[in-house]
Amino acid sequence: MTTVEWDVTSQACPSRVIFSRIGDRWTMFIVLALSERTMRFSELKERLGPVSPKVLTETLRALEADGLVERRSFPDSPPRVEYSLTVLGRSLLEPIAAMRSWAEEHVPEVLESRRRALGA
């Protein structure tokens, strides 16, 4: 078996696609929301706040294509669609939790630094 070494700092590295997906503006918020439970589109939209339906749809489709989110549709009237994290999507929870913890711990320092940089 051959071991492939990935280098995300290399422009040619395919792992950059994953960093781009995780770094997308809404990805982490969607993953965190779906970590709570399976949700319908309208529930996700309400939970996330100011995301447009178009952007939410595009992000969910990309997450589904990447194998991080599962979309299930039901033949109800009106049609019902639910989103949930896949096993691969759930594997993102640990690194996202670390970033969330860091952000929540250091937000006062970052805000103070921003205040100083803006001369306020």
- Predicted TM-score (pTM) of the model is 0.83
For the chain, 120 residues long, give each residue's pLDDT as a single digit of tens: 555 678 888 888 888 888 888 889 999 999 999 999 999 999 999 999 999 999 999 999 999 999 999 999 998 888 899 999 999 999 999 999 999 999 999 999 999 999 999 986
Sheet with 80-85: list strands edge to edge: 39-40, 80-85, 69-74
CA 39 to each of CA 43, 50, 83, 84: distance values in angstroms, whole numbers, following the listed order: 6, 17, 5, 7
